[in-house]
Amino acid sequence: MNNKDLLRYSFERVEKYINSNDDNTSPVVKFKTPGELSEIFSLPVDEESASQTKFTEYIEKYLDYSVRTGNKQFLNQLYSGFNFPAFLGEVFTVVANTSMYTYEVAPVATMIEKEMINLMNSYAGYKSGDGIFVTGGSNANLVAMLSARNRVFPEGRFEGYDHNLKLKAFINEQAHYSFETAANVLGIGSKNVIKVKADKNGRLIPEELEKKLSESVSRGELPFFVAATCATTLSGAYDPIDEMAEICKKYNVWLHADGSFGGSLILSEKHRHLMKGIEKTDSFAWNPHKLMNIPLICSALLVNRKSTLYQNITDINTDYIFHDIDAVEDLGKKSIQCGRRVDAVKLWFAWKYYGKKGYRDRLDNSVAMAKYAEDIVKTHPNLELLIPRQSFTVCFRFVPSGDFDLNAFNLELRENLRKSGKSIVNYGYIGNTLALRLVIANSDVQEDDIDLFFNQLAETATSMINNKQVL
């Protein structure tokens, strides 16, 4: 088998794999323990090259034992689904194998990234905005916090952070952990990230934010950064951006919108009211690899002012790479990375394929399917809704008849379902209560898929009870 035959075989195998996403009889995962996988795979690299026959075995085994995130019973993470045009964009991106630092080596990709940033800014209402594709939502939050620090303390780019400033950042108590990581990386320190109380549904309470800011100022500290979360990780709650923006304006504090999970809702005319006030923010993290089903990674940071990202970078004296000869900006000059993947092209392919209306419909379907799931929970005799649905996420638990430790029962239920390969759903804690977290992030999910999930959940729970497999 030569390389041409191997390529043909590989794409035939890819086609088979893609088609299996619509087959409800295909398991989401053929679960194996780490020890079992080590036995199945010859993981160490050999001294001699593998035969092409052996190489095809590696391909088969990798696909066979990987989690099928495109399967409609993969309801576990904030990303899922398979997006065919974006997949093609990823293939062509890898074939071209360029980097995003200069127009010279990535002319088409540079123009596409600029177009995608302009389009995304138009949805955010950033009339004089800018942006850059980054390596994920955590990185976007980091660069946003860096931008806020540089606004309040621009000399810090050269002199380092002055701890006498006593910089403080403020986030929803249910916000993503990446903000504390960012404060650590920037030298500000994670303990200077202040968590603000949320209401029972997970939304930051504006009055609590103002109270925290006022107290900080009275202590001689300098509040410099506030983050509004657009869909919290557990409950999918959207912080009240509009109210937060007025408070941040009063205290002259940078307001960042972390839409790493739910930012794509901005595409929906029906539901974008959850992000009311987004145009008043200073920056916005948006991950199309979540609700737009673009292959990982596809993440952008948008900023409301054109010069922001360039001002983050210290003086560049690199005439060996940036030549300024093509009458277009080299995107590397506003990125903290030098070598950077081409992530905008797969998004462009998908958006071209579906169109603006097509993506609106896809997002609306995801919300509709989440509501459908919520309605099932509300009417099922053994299911309990733990908090009202906020957007794409339904938090619930199974309540069997009898005396059970419900946390232990639901954890075991989730594990049995996962290891069976029938469906995968995640979990988290609301206070001390374990909640099964059903996420409708795959825009292709339909009512039949949700019915199948709940039927398999109930069958597994019944089997556990009948076989006395309870903790």
DSSP codes, 379-408: H-TTEEE-S---SSEEEEEE--SSS--HHH
DSSP codes, 407-441: HHHHHHHHHHHHHHTS-EEEEEEETTEEEEEEE--
Residue 344 parent element (H or E): helix 344-379
CATH topology of domain 89-350: Aspartate Aminotransferase; domain 2 (3.40.640)
φ, ψ at 396 (rounded to 5°): -150, 180
Structure tokens at 161: 């952070």
What pTM does this model have? 0.94
List the domain boundaries for the chain.
Answer: 3-68, 89-350
Residues 6 or more apart from 466 whose CB is under 8 A from it?
none
One digit per residue, the tens of pLDDT, for the chain of length 471 reads: 688 888 899 989 999 999 988 888 889 999 999 999 999 988 888 888 888 888 889 999 999 999 999 999 999 999 999 999 999 999 999 999 999 988 889 999 999 999 999 999 999 999 999 999 999 999 999 999 999 999 999 998 888 888 889 999 999 999 999 999 999 999 999 999 999 999 999 999 999 999 999 999 999 999 999 999 999 999 999 999 999 999 999 999 999 999 999 999 999 999 999 999 999 999 999 999 999 999 999 999 999 999 999 888 876 666 656 666 666 788 888 999 889 999 999 999 999 999 999 999 999 999 999 999 999 999 999 999 999 999 999 999 999 998 899 999 999 999 999 999 999 999 999 999 999 999 999 999 999 999 999 999 999 999 999 887 555
What would you report as the CA-atom Rg of the chain, rounded to the nearest whole angstrom?
24
Closest to 153 (Cα-Cα) out of 143, 174, 167, 168: 167
Give yes or no for a contact between 274 and 298, defined as CB atoms under 8 angstroms apart.
Answer: no
Helices (H), 104-171: 107-124, 137-152, 156-159
Closest to 9 (Cα-Cα) out of 70, 68, 46, 52: 52
Give yes or no for a contact between 377 and 384, defined as CB atoms under 8 angstroms apart.
Answer: yes
Total residues found in the chain within this entry: 471
Closest to 89 (Cα-Cα) out of 346, 292, 281: 346
Residue 75 parent element (H or E): strand 74-75
